[in-house]
Structure formats: C-alpha cells, structure tokens
Structure 1
Amino acid sequence: MAGRTRCRSLSFLGVLSCVGSPLSSMYTTSSVFLQSLANVGITHIFANWGSDHPALLEDLQRQRSEKDGQTASQIITCPNEMVALTAAQGFAQVTGKPAAVIVHVDVGSQALAGAIHNVDRGRMPVLIYAGASPFTSLGEMKGSRNEWIMGLQDIPDQASIIRQYMRFTSQIESGKVATGIIHRALQIATSHPKGPVYLWARREVMEEEVELSAVNTTVPLRKWPPIEPTALSVAAASTIARALLEAKSPLIVASHPGRSKDAVPLLTHLSTQVAIPVVAVCPSAVAIPFSHPYFVGVTYLNRGSHTHHLAKADVILVLDSDVPWIPTLQAPNPEARVFVLDSGDPLKTISAVTQWHIDAEMMCNADVVLALEAINAAVDAQIETCNAGIIDERRTSITAEHNELVRKLDGLENAWRQDMHSGRPTIPNILGVLRRTIAEQTPSRSLDKTLVLNESVTNNPIVWQHMRTEIPGGQLTSGGSSLGWGLPAAIGAHLGASKNYELIVAIVGDGSFMFAVPSSVYWIARRYETPFLTIILNNGGWKAPKMSMLGCHPSGYGSRAASGVELSVGFGPDCPDYSQIAVAASAGWAWGKRIGGDGGNVQEELTAALAEAVRVVIEERRCAVLDCVLDAL
C-alpha cells in the first residue's frame, strides 16, 4: 500500500512491528479524534499517556511536523490522572468552556479518583477519553496486543468505573463515527445540568486507517447546540415576586448561582429592591459582592452556624443549592413559603443523589439567570403595591447586621496574640495581611483581579468572609467534597484565563495540599509556566474527621484525646515541610517558606513573607508556597 505504513506480526517476539517510511503520512481514527476536538473548540487536553495511546502520540507528532511544532489543541502532560482532571475542571470553571482529559485504560480511569466526584458535583463540562486494552492478540489488526499488561487491563465494562458520575458514556467503535460521538458528548456536557462525559475506544479502533478527507471533514458545531436554558414561567415568576414583596422576613439562600457570572448583578438587584438578606450556603462561587449591605455571611452548616434569619423567615428563595439547610441542626420555620430554583436538576435525579428532599411550595427547573431576570421584572412591576415601610425597616436592620459582620472580621484580623513568642498566627491574621498585601503589590492595587481558590475545608467559611471578594468569579471552590482540588485547579485556571487575573491564590488546609499530589502539580506548573501563590493553613492534620466525630460523640473517648496525633488524624509530631516539596518537585523553580512556631515576631515575619511571596509570583512569574503553621488540631 503505497505511502502507508505496513504492520506485520513478529510471532517469535510476540510483538507487532510497523515498517515503512517514518515520514509517510498516515491518518487514523486518532487523527479524526484529535482534529474533531480542536474543531469543537477544545483548546487544552490534559493527558496522562499509556500503552493504549500509540496512535494518538503518533498523530500529535505528525501535527507537529506539519505545523511548525504546533498541535491543534495544546497538550498538557500530567504525571497524575487526578491532577489532570482537576486542572481541566479549573480551566472550565474560569472559562465556562470544556476541556479534555486523556487517561489510560481501566487503571487510569480509576486513578481519576475523587476528581470525578468534584467535576460532577461542580457541574463542569469536561470530556474524558480513555483507551482500552486491545481485543485482538494474534496480530489480526494493527494495535493488537504486544505487551503483557494488556491481558490484565481488559475488563468487561470499563465505563462502569465512573458511569454514575457521568452525564454520558460511549464507546468509539470506528473512525467513521468518532466525530459524531464527540459532538453528542459535548452537546450533553454543555447542557444543563452541565457535567463530565466519558468516551473510550479499543487500541485497534484508534489505529484504524482513514482517508485524509475524514480528518478534514468539518461537522458544523452549530448543528449540535446544547439545550437552550430553561426559563421560569410567567406564573411562577409572578408568584415568587408577590411572595417576596408581601413577606415580613424574606431570605435568599444562595449556593451556586455565581457559577454563571451574569447571575450576580441580577441577584444583587433583587436583594436591593426588596431589602432581602442573602446568605451563602456552602457556596462554590461568589453569589453577591461581600460589601453589599444585605449580605449576611457564609455558612457551611456546622451546628448553629446558619443565619438567624432562617428560623424567622416567612418566605425563602433557594438558588442552585445542594443542601440549603440540615433539618436536624437548624430548620426553617415550618410555615415558611419555600421556593426552590435549580439550573437543570432541582430533584437531584441526574446527580443521582439517593435521598434528597426539601419541604417546598414550588420546585422550579430554570436557568438561574433567566429565572432572576423574570423575578426581577415581576418585582419591578408589582413593587408599587408593597408595604414600603416594612422594606425600609429591613434596610436599616440588615445594613446594621452587615456592618457588624465587617466590624467583627476587622477585629479578628487585627487581634494579634499578646504572647508574640507563641509564633503562630490565626487564620484571620493571615488573611487580613494577605488581602492588604494584594492591594498594595498588584498592578491594579485591588483584589478585583485576584482569583482565590478556596480549599481550606473546615475553614472554608472563614476564608470566604475574610477575603471579602467583590467580583463575580473572584473566589471559587470545587463544588464537591473530594480533597486535592485547589492546586491543580490553579494550573487549569491559569491556562484558561491568566489574562483576566494578576494573581491566582490557592488557599489550602486540612491535608488538602497532600491530596493534591504536589509532586505532579508543581512540575506541571514549571513546565507550562503557570505561576500561582499557595497559602497552606497548616493545622497539623485533618480537622474534618475530628469535627465529625465530635458531632456524634461530643463527650466520648475521642473528645478527651490529647492531640490530633493521638486521635490518628494528625500528621505530627514532625509534619512534612510542604513548601520544600514544591521546591523539589519544580527542581528549585518554586519559592517556598514556612512561618510560625519558631518563637519570633510572627506579625512581622508573616508580613514580610507574604510581601515576598506575592512579589515572586507577580514579578518573577514563579510559584510561591507559604506554609503557615497554626495551632495543632
């Protein structure tokens, strides 16, 4: 076959050998796959390579040879699969666009680990592709088995490993259908409720030869649009607006509306018009600017931590929330009128949550932006008929409550310990200095061009409030509960939207630094020049399991444990030197320092260290890691 590479079986070696001109052009299903991804707008592929990917690697090198060293989509080599998927999630979170991830057979699919949970619960559109072990073993087809591991990696239902977290799974069985399958997968991934999709193919299929015309065939993406966002009915919008206007004590519970940045000004307008307090419950994105006078704080629903407005509210509007309250800890007024709005999955059936219920008058499957537009319009049309006196009273009382919140935060940030020899700052100390340092050293002299990735776990609400984020999308969490999101997400965010930010800060704690596989993260950061600042809130272990134990056994044996180490949730007595892990992983490129616990003046030490760390990231374009030693849990 002229101009093509030929394959023959070398039975005495038990391998396949490909012979022919090394420069001859050959197009395969892998060519179609990669070009189709580029055609639909996939700009970044986070890849962890394996024995199922020869044709993909070959085609990427063909692209480089034909395109001055470039590939149609940028390839980000990731030594760890969970890091790859999490970086793709971070990319999608800041761009709103899907990324792709390539992993290796069953083991690579399994190694995606907790990132699968996060990308599902976070509702981020990511296309995952995994190769599969060859199904031929005697050289019948190109790509047939030629390595011992292929006999171990062949399982009957590879997609079942992660199917329950996916919006769609499918096998690519020929290069002739690859483009259509990719289009369908992304059509589903980008429709509400957005989320991950999983494609897989046998090695022989990806090695299947195709004509150049198959690679060059462009299927218009406009023919595969995502489902149009669902609007709120006029009747529902009018009912909700009337309830809010007639309420004496309304409340808005917001968790994820800020995933759509356009929702933030709409929610702000609604809150302002009717003087409705807004509480952020387990948020994944900024719902309303911190400085808004009717923002009353953040809660992660620890016992007694929900806003006091919950118990007295007579009308509650719940926006894109997975868990707006926990009835056994704090429940709303049983007579309250509750309205639930969710962008695509109000009953959590697609999310496959087995036990889920909210006592509500109305459940609405509606895009949060369209819903808020409709409610605002209905409020504006009816507001002249409401009791202006009640609204004015709320304005005064809620503004006073917000001002008191700010006063308390200021006090905590400035309350340095009198015993300076303890050498340990509090988290408010750290965040107050960090915020002021950003305002002093970034080019804009503000926090408006800083992205905060918050994975401080048990300290999530403290970080949310003390960072005082104003802009939509300015602070994010994973939207899930698997640790290890923050550091890889910083890489993805930088690759996706570095032009939008002067500084990216990952604030991690409760062991999430170790979960993030820092040896891979900081290597990738150096390789692809994605500098970010890491702040480690180092409490010496995992506080979350200790808190869970105390929630069930407040006065049991565990409550009397002398330390986290004794309880087996601590990393002491000699904790890892986290900052130097980053330095070593990046071959000395990252800057790292540990502060606290050395008996010095911690206020001066912290101020100087943060100033240097921010300078290193902004001016030298290197990662900086500041390990802040806190009181041990």
Structure 2
Amino acid sequence: MSSDSISTQSTVTGAANFLEALYDAGTRYCFVNLGSDHPALLEAMAASKSDKTRRIPTIITCPSELVALSAALGYAQVTGTAQCVIVHVDCGTLAMGQSIHNASVGRVPVLMFAGLSPITQEGEMLGSRTEFIHWIQDVPDQAAIVRQYCRYTAEVRVGHNIKQLVNRAIQIATSDPKGPTYLTASREALEQASQIEIIGKSLLGASRPLVITGYLGRNVRAPPLLEALCDKLPIEVVETIGSDMCISSNHEAYRGVTVSTHPLVPSADVILVLDCDVPWVPTQGTPSKVFYINAHRRYTVSCELALKQLNRFLDRQNIDASKLVGRFEARRTRYQEWRASLLSLEVPAGDGIVRVPHLISRLRESLPQNTTVVIEAVTNAISVIHHLNLTKPGSLLGTGAGGLGWLGGAAMGAKLAKPNDMICAIVGDGTFLFSQMESAFWISKRYGIPFLLIVLNNGGWNAPKVSALLVHKDGLSSRHNRKDLNLSFEPSPDYATIAAAAGNAYGALIETKDQVEPVLKEAIKTVQSGKSAVVEVR
C-alpha cells in the first residue's frame, strides 16, 4: 500500500495524545498561553470538540504565564493532583518567573510544557519553520532556564512516545518530594501522526489485509481484541508455529497455522505482524513488493494495548459497513471452503490406517471442555491444531521455540498451574525420546500430576527429511526411505510400556480406526481418575 494514501493531516497526533495522556493521568485543567509553537495543539483541541470520545482537560486561557502557573499551583495545593501549564517556547518559560521557584520550594506538583522552535526549515516534515520568529527563538538549551528548579525535564523528540513521557513527568511531579516537571516538544513532534492511525488507515485502505501472529494468545485477553478487529474489517489471520491459540478457530477470519510462508502472504497488500518471530520464510515466498517497500514498519509494544487502541481508532472512523459487505462475504466463503477441505480429511480411510486428521477429530469430540492441549508434534503440529478446532484463549500451549524435549515437563507444569483442567499432551515419537519421559512419568506418579499423552509414531524423524527435500527437491535423498537415511526408529520402542514402567501409567496402542474411540475414552477416563495415560498411535 502506498504511503501516499495516508493523510498528512492526521487527527491522532502527538499533540492529541499529549492532551489525552494528561486527562488519563488525572489532570483536569490546562492553563495556557499559546503561540506559534502550538498549531498541533490547536488542531487537537478543535478535534476534541467534535469527537466526544476524546477526553482532554478543560482549557483555561491565561494572558499571563505567571498567573497560569500560580493557578495550577493553587489547584494542586487543594487537590494534590498535578495540573498542566502550557506556554510559548523560551519566552513563555521565562515569563512564568518566580512562580517556578514557588512550585519547587513549596513542593507543589505541576507539569510545565513549552514548545520548541521547529527542527526543520525546508518543509521536510509537517510543522517545519514558517515564520522568522522560529530562528530567533531557537535557544541552545531551553530546559536550562528551569532545570535547577525541576524534579524532571525532558524533550519529546517523537510523537509516538509522548504518553510515556507525560506519565513519567506526572509520576515524578507527584512523588515526594513533589514539585514541578518540564517537558518540551518541537512542532514536528506534536504533528507526528500516531502509529495506530497509520496502521488503522493502512488496514482501512487495504483490499486483502492480513494479520500474522505467533504467541499473541499467551496473553489470554488479546485474542478477543483481535477477533473484534476482524469483525470491523475483512482481515484474515494466520498463526505461526502454533504455540498459542491467538484467534478462535470458529472465527471466519482464521486461516490456520504455518511454519513457512502462508499462501495468503504474497497476495496481501497490508500485513500486520503481532507477537511473531518468523512471519514468513523468504525462500518459500515473500510479501508483495508494494507492501514490503512502502509499509514495512516495526513497533515494540504491548499487543493487547495496541489492539485496544486500534479498535478505538476504527470505532471513530464511521466505517460504511455497506461498502465492506462483498469483502466480508468473500472472506466467509474462503473460510468455509478451507473448513470443508479440513473436514473431508477427517473421514476415516478405507484402508483402515489411522491418519492424524481422523484421530484428532475423534480426540476433539472425546476431550472435556476444560482441556488444555500441550503440543510438541513437530511435523504433525499443523494438522493437529487445524483439526482440534480450539476456541478458548489459553487452551493451547507450545514451546514457541526449537529446543525439542520440552513436552513432558511442560505438561506437568501446565497441570500444576491448572489443576482442574484435563491436560492432553501430543507428541511425535522423536520428541518423546528427546523428552526423557521416564523421568516425567516418575514425577507424575510420585506427585500425583496426571496427564494424557498421545504419541504419534512416525517410525522415526520426519523433520530432517522434510528439510532435505526443501533444499534438494529431486535429490538423492528424495529416493530413499528413512531407514536408508538413518532417520528410522526401527524396531520401534514400546512407548506405553516405558511410561508404565517409570510411572505406572495406563498404556494403550491404536493401530486401526476401530480402536480409536474406545481407547481414547478409556484413556481420558483413566486420567480423570488421577492416573496418567499414554496412547501410542501407529
């Protein structure tokens, strides 16, 4: 998406966030003496009159800066809350005079704010110098005028973190010994558009917006916020790695899990990446050129907070839902077709062999509602997650990393943290052996930490051969089986017996489709009685 589509006249600017942060921090009055450094503040004040969702302090015009600061001090002395005084560059700062001394020595909390001369002069940024006075008032160290009286001084250099600086200034002003704090900001910083507005407008203007996320669901408050975002716009969502449930599988925005480049990535014109380490693998496909060059941004934030802000921004945009009907319907159709393709895989095969989609569909129907799934299935992980149809935040737990052997201990840790939940762990045979399960099941027995373990027996390591084929699609290794490639675990260990010997766990083996449901039900019943169970599936 071209950056030209984003308006330079932003409604959510550093100035707007400054006023909003003041109100949120408890400041109810701004005593102001305004000047040429405050165009963005005037815009923000005007915008608040038409948008009642933007709460800002009451503005009190003060012809005298000394009176303005004295009024703020009087209010603070009665209420204990810091108010704000806004003045004009160095001259306005000087004009507050002895009242600065009174605030400091009298230990009265107040936030003093002054503009700076613009930092650009050729129109490079919105807010650049437009008047001769901007050269005359450009002093080397404006904060030096008040620094010896202040508890804290700082310059707002970019609009994006102005809320943090306001909160910091007020926190220090109201901490003992209380006193004045002083912030400055150039016109450019105050005019700078909010990152949330940039993201929001990009999503609004996109025809195929895509969210890629990885561990967003680790914060269980975040998935509902992502779903709310997808209810506002026809966004589609892809999860990577599959370590956490980031969006309900029943939401039509959901398009599954990947550990590579998802097919939706090349066609997406705007991609929002939330809590994700590897959103795509360049050798397996990359985002579209337009997106990659013109809208590639990175922010380090709380995704929960960012989603709240993004939803609030979109709520203020008066989105014409009628214009999005067709795109929502197209998304619904894509979701339904994808879901239908998954359901078709769950039909048991005529040859009697138990395949993962059918097995997981039966497991899904057998597990109680209060189940947390712990997964380290590697090459089968995507299929397992797709057919589990998880809908509850916090119901999926994966390592989110690459060190295999985590599952046994993690399953017990999850059970200790969720004693009333059924813990269902799903692992491949290779990872079973990495996990030192004899130790895990001994601990499970001794301390009464029961969990269900499903072992998907692949007969060896699948992942190394998959890696080889990605590099040598038609190479020599493609024509050899795992035994020839030294990847086989033949003869196969008896995984259930290992668990039984180490921790007296219940063990069972599934080799045909007719065994699936009765064995799963017995294993689940055993775990509910307080004893661990292992089900090996070949």
Q: Could you state the TM-score of these two structures normalised by the residue count of structure 2?
A: 0.63
* Residue from 440, 445, 462 that aligns with 1:521: 440
- The corresponding residue for 1:397 is 330
Asked if 1 retains the 8 angstrom alpha-carbon contact of 2:242 and 2:382, the reply is no
1:412 corresponds in structure 2 to 345
Matched, 1:282 2:238: no
2:328 corresponds to 1:381: no
What is the correspondence of 1:503-514 to structure 2 with a 5 Å cutoff? 503-514=422-433
Q: Secondary structure at the match of 1:237?
A: helix
Q: Is 1:464 matched up with 2:393?
A: no
Deviation for aligned residue 1:510: 4.7
Q: Deviations over 1:117-171 (max 9, x none)?
A: xxxxxxxxxxxxxxxxxxxxxxxxxxxxxxxxxxxxxxxxxxxxxxxxxxxxxxx
Q: Is the 8 A contact 2:270 2:295 kept in 1?
A: no
Gaps of 5+ in 2: 1-191
Partner deviation per Cα, 1:307-347 (whole Å, 9 max, x = no partner): 3x311211110001111011121111010168xxxxxxxxx
The structure with more helix, counted as a fraction of residues: 2
Give the equivalent residue in structure 2 for 1:162: none
Whole-Å separation in 2 of the counterparts to 1:390 and 1:244: 14
Aligned to 1:593: 508
Matched position secondary structure for 1:617 = helix
Equivalent of residue 299 in structure 2, options 364, 367, 379: 364
Greater relative contact order: 1 or 2 (C-alpha under 8 angstroms, separation 6 or more)?
1
**2:362 maps to which residue?**
433
Q: Do the aligned partners of 1:458 and 1:510 also contact (CA within 8 Å) in 2?
A: no
Structure-1 separation of matches of 2:288 and 2:373: 35
Larger Rg: 2
What residue number does 2:262 align with? Answer: 306
Cα deviation for residue 459 of structure 1 reads 1.1
SS at match of 1:582: helix
Structure 1 residues 497, 366: CA separation in 2 closer, same or farther (over 3 Å shift)? same
Specify the code of the residue in structure 1 equivalent to 2:241. C
Q: For the residues of structure 1 that align with 2:213 and 2:279, how far apart are their CA atoms? A: 8
Q: Give the aligned residue type for 2:487.
A: V
Q: Deviations over 1:380-417 (max 9, x none)?
A: 111x2x45455222210111111122212221111x22
Secondary structure at the aligned position of 1:376 is classed as helix
SS of equivalent to 2:508:
strand
Q: Does the 8 Å CA contact 1:455/1:508 hold for their aligned counterparts?
A: yes
2 CA distance for matches of 1:370 and 1:408?
A: 35
1:362, distance to aligned residue in structure 2 (A)? 2.1
* 1:465-544 matches, cutoff 5 A: 465-499=386-420, 501=421, 503-544=422-463
Asked whether the 8 Å contact 1:299–1:461 carries over to 2, the reply is: yes
Structure 1 vs Structure 2 CA RMSD: 1.6
Q: CA deviation at 1:361?
A: 3.0
Runs of 4+ in 1 over 6 A off after TM superposition: none
| Distance (Å, rounded) in 2 between the aligned partners of 1:481 and 1:628 | 24
SS of aligned partner of 2:466 = helix
| 2:483 equivalent in structure 1 | 565
Match 2:230 to one of 262, 271, 285: 271
The 2-side partners of 1:319 and 1:616 are apart by: 39
Match 1:577 to one of 467, 490, 494: 494
Could you tell me which residue of structure 2 aligns to residue 627 of structure 1?
536
Letter in 2 for 1:614: I
Q: Secondary structure at the match of 1:362?
A: coil
The CA deviation at 1:565 is 1.4
Q: Could you tell me how far apart the structure 2 residues matched to 1:417 and 1:429 are?
A: 9
Percent identity between the two aligned chains: 36
Q: Secondary structure at the residue paired with 1:336?
A: helix
Any conservation in 1 of the 2:242–2:381 contact (CA below 8 Å)? no
Secondary structure of the corresponding residue to residue 449 of structure 2: coil
* Candidates 286, 291, 313, aligned match of 1:336: 291
Give the aligned partner of residue 169 of structure 1.
Answer: none
Q: Is the 8 A contact 1:591 1:613 kept in 2?
A: yes
The letter for the 1-side match of 2:298 is M
- The whole-number CA distance in structure 1 between the counterparts of 2:386 and 2:493 is 29
Asked if residue 318 in structure 1 is aligned to residue 318 in structure 2, the reply is: no
1:452 maps onto 2:373 in alignment? yes
Alignment partners' CA distance in 2, 1:483 and 1:327? 24
Query: In the alignment, residue 242 of structure 2 is paired with which amino acid?
Result: P
Compute the TM-score of the two structures, normalised by the length of structure 1: 0.53
| Amino acid of the structure 1 residue aligned with 2:206 | A
Equivalent residues in 2 for 1:248-263, closer than 5 Å: 248-263=207-222
Q: 2:407 is matched by which residue type in structure 1?
A: G
